[in-house]
Structure 1
């Protein structure tokens, strides 16, 4: 029996978290800190509600208060990956642990 085997779903999710980590490090960490929090008073992403992904995507895309809009710079799939990374750091169910 020959055939093509698909990678397990967790492998895809782990790859998404890794892309999110890299994208977060490149664009977000300078203001939000490497552990999702910065003493400078920017929003503490450890407190972002898991059920509010739409608000997260809108905030990253369109900007919020002093945060710039990243639409056109960060691709939608990268924003989705950042969300997966935030979830992994926050320990939300179903998200693989963030790489260290």
Structure 2
């Protein structure tokens, strides 16, 4: 199965779990995000976020600035093209989960 088809299947499984009200395990979200990252982001941001000098070094992206990440991916920023017409919000969330897993971010505490 191609990388893109595999990523779409992973997204469909994660989305179905979320739609059913199930909490998507962080490891599953990160793995689905990894597949999307590989097919959409690696060219500029590098394998495992290790930039090849073209794109922003995502290993330095602050955990508390997801809004900026979503805005940059959706609308583009500087040399980065806008991905909003290509990636759905759920896919961007999965890529964010992958970036967090590589960076070792701890899950935010949930509200009571």
Which segments of 5 or more consecutive residues in structure 1 lack a partner in the other structure? 1-7, 96-100
Residue aligned with 1:35, SS: helix
Which segments of 5 or more consecutive residues in structure 2 lack a partner in the other structure? 1-21
Runs of 4+ in 1 over 2 A off after TM superposition: none
Matched-pair contact (CA < 8 Å) for 2:73–2:82: yes
Residue aligned with 2:35, SS: helix
1:62 equivalent to 2:75? Answer yes
Residue equivalent to 1:26: 39
Residue equivalent to 1:75: 88
TM-score for the superposition, normalised by structure 2? 0.72
Higher RCO (C-alpha under 8 Å, 6+ residues apart): 1
- Deviation for aligned residue 1:15: 1.6
Q: Which has the larger radius of gyration?
A: 1
The equivalent position to 1:84 in structure 2, one of 86, 97, 100, is 97
TM-score for the superposition, normalised by structure 1? 0.80
The separation in 2 between residues aligned to 1:78 and 1:90, in whole angstroms, is 18
- Deviation for aligned residue 1:18: 1.1
The equivalent position to 1:49 in structure 2, one of 49, 54, 62, is 62
CA RMSD of aligned residues (A): 1.9
